[in-house]
Amino acid sequence: MTENISPADLVGREPDPRLLSEDLENLPDVVGRPETFVPSGARRRIVGTGATLTAASLIIGSLLVVLGLIDAIASGIDGLSIAILVVGAVLVVTHWGWVHVAEITANSLEGRGNAVVEDRRHQWLATIEPYTHFEIYTRVEEDGAITIYRVAHRPVTSGARRFTFERDTEYEEVHSPDEPAAEVTERAELLRREAAQDTERERERYQIAADAYEAVLLDNADEQQRRLAQRAASEALSRQINTNLRDPPLIE
């Protein structure tokens, strides 16, 4: 099971880009998923045009070479026959160039389109905050029983000033196929509400630490200022915990 990390240790960190790739499945469902790259229809058209021009260049070039040879044999070698032979030979020799030109053009257009999508993906990533999310899932077993399980998506530190998420199954319960559907549904909904309340508490704890951190941290802060902000975040969180211990919040 992933060890819980204090919100004060997570403030000031940025989401790890791995959350867009190998760590994507560890993200809670509630934050959604990033935009995906869609193959451009223009690429297919450009590559298709390149293939057509390649075939046309080969056919026309071959015909010109044959025509030039016939003209040279029939009328003797002159400027016209030489010109026809040269043009035909150039078309035959360079016919594959159209494929490369089309590929380069398509890659350039697709690269510009992907850069825009990649920018939006990173903007989406920057909106994710590092606090624990609790979510309820179900699965059907081989015998028809329904398992309800609770998953914690916990933020963990990752490298220098970054965070990612790890996923732990905290709890599960199995309901017999004979159990009334209404009871199973009611139980799942109860667990979902509890998970939502726990998630909200985690969000509030993180927000308290983040607000204190940002209040102290200045633009372009040096390491000493960052440590002061970190301490301010810890102190704010500690005060909130002590307040809750003296006057616990009501639980529905």
pLDDT the model gives residue 131: 94
Q: How far is CA 207 from CA 12, 80, 141, 146, 201, in A?
A: 12, 83, 39, 36, 10
Kindly list the domain boundaries of the chain, sorted by start residue.
Answer: 7-12+130-246, 41-123
Q: How many CB atoms lie within 10 A of CB 15?
A: 23
- Structure confidence by residue, pLDDT tens digits, 193-204: 999 999 999 999
pLDDT reading at 10 higher than 70: yes
pLDDT reading at 252 higher than 60: no
Tokens matching residue 63? 């015909």
Mean pLDDT for 165-182 is 92
Contact in structure between 111 and 138 (CB atoms under 8 Å): no
- Structure confidence by residue, pLDDT tens digits, 82-114: 777 777 777 777 767 767 776 776 666 666 667
User: CB-based contacts of 90: which residues, under 8 Å, 6+ apart?
Assistant: 61
Instruction: Name which of 7-21, 125-139, 234-248 the model is least confident about.
Output: 234-248
- Structure confidence by residue, pLDDT tens digits, 45-95: 777 777 787 888 778 878 877 777 776 777 767 677 777 777 777 777 776
Tokens matching residue 183? 């009871």
pLDDT the model gives residue 212: 77
Mean confidence (pLDDT) of the chain? 79
pLDDT the model gives residue 220: 46
User: CB-based contacts of 8: which residues, under 8 Å, 6+ apart?
Assistant: 209, 213, 230, 233, 234, 237
pLDDT reading at 121 higher than 50: yes
Among 106, 113, 196, 112, residue whose Cα is nearest residue 150 = 196
Higher pLDDT, 159 or 177: 177
The number of CA neighbours under 13 Å toward the Cβ of 62 is 6
pLDDT reading at 247 higher than 60: no
- C-alpha torsion 6→10→12→13, nearest 10: 170
**pLDDT class for 39, splitting at 50, 70, 90?**
low
- The DSSP-derived string for the chain is -PPP--GGGTTT-EE-GGGGTTTGGGS-GGG--PPPP---HHHHHHHHHHHHHHHHHHHHHHHHHHHHHHHHHHH-S-HHHHHHHHHHHHHHHTTTHHHHHHHHHHHHHHHHHHHHHHHHHHHHHTT---S-EEEEEEEE-TTS-EEEEEEEEEEEE-STTEEEEEEEEEEEEEE-TTS-HHHHHHHHHHHHHHHHHHHHHHHHHHHHHHHHHHHHPPTT--HHHHHHHHHHHHHHHHHHHHHHHHSPPP--
Measured distance CA(244)–CA(249) in Å, rounded: 7
In sequence order, the β-bridge partners of residue 140 are 146
